[in-house]
Amino acid sequence: MKHSSFLSVTDYAADELSYLFDLAIELKKKLKSGQAAPLLNGKTLAMIFQKPSLRTRVSFEIGMRQLGGYAFYLSPDEIGLGKREAIKDVAQVLAGYVDGIMARVFSHDHLVELAEYARIPVINGLSDFNHPCQAMADGLTILEEFGTLKGINIAYVGDGNNVAVSLMDIAVKMGANFTIANPAGYDMPEEAVKLAQTFAKESGSRLRFERDPLTAVKGANVIYTDTWVSMGQESEKAEREKIFLPYQVNRELVDAAEKDCIVMHCLPSHRGQEITDEVQDGPRSRVFPEAHNRLHAQKAVLAYLLGDSMM
């Protein structure tokens, strides 16, 4: 049976995730060759946004159009999720209008409640806990680069945030090794780590938790970073910039990794802070192919959840 929603990659088995990667690759090939893939003719997607976005909005809207469907944007002021109207009411109303919901929210609990009451697929476009759509684009990018995720050494440098959680999740599900280097007090949530440790035992992944970024990137095939100050943390900006300064991804750090190492960032980046121009624009950077893969990975998720038949 198909899954009803896409809230976390940990809800999916490794073979299911592999299927989604294969589907993304096939859809990407069809797009490049000019072939239509109208898997979602007549289907509609409501896109709920509590946070602003470039990649999430454009990739989902264009993705639905390329699949033959239609997506529309709902701003924070239009819904007031959980404020103007109860979440379960929003879910049940939209379920009578559309075939799926994508939500980009602050609280992960809002997504869980939407999925509980909607009775149609709900896709996590980002929450304060995780970012599974980004992880699918990340996994696709690594797969295209190395031909596999199994045994690939991924080093994440920076805040143990929602992006780090989902990157760890896709790693342990697909057999990649995951290391994070972050300052004390900025660790990933304990429940996320415990769950990842369980899946790592099944897949053979190795998990490492470090404070020193140079130690973390030793042997790395992938170095990954994200902003030091996420949306909603603006009051902590000055303090975070001081604390995270030793965690900048710069030439010295990249040179300490494997020669085939690639550098990734979910964007938006703050150039000169968590990553230097020299690295982001350099030959090892896969930042923009990674961003473009949001489109293809999400099209696979959309086709899987909303489609009546597969390719």
Of the listed 169, 265, 266, 286, which one is catalytic? 266
Of the listed 110, 131, 286, 296, which one is catalytic? 131
Of the listed 133, 159, 226, 273, which one is catalytic? 226
Of the listed 134, 248, 280, 298, which one is catalytic? 134
The answer to whether residue 266 is catalytic is yes
The answer to whether residue 104 is catalytic is yes
The answer to whether residue 251 is catalytic is no
CA–CA dist 126, 50 (Å, integer): 10
The answer to whether residue 57 is catalytic is no
Of the listed 55, 110, 284, 294, which one is catalytic? 294
Characterize 218-231 residue by residue with b for buried, 16 or more Cβ atoms within 10 angstroms of its Cβ, and e for exposed.
eebbbbbbbbbbbe
Pairing assessment for the beta strands 222-225 and 153-157 based on DSSP bridges: parallel
Of the listed 50, 66, 99, 104, which one is catalytic? 104
The answer to whether residue 169 is catalytic is no
Beta bridge partners of 73: 47
By the 10 Å C-beta count (0-12 exposed, 13-18 middle, 19+ buried), 25 is classed as: middle
Residues marked as catalytic = 104, 131, 134, 226, 266, 294
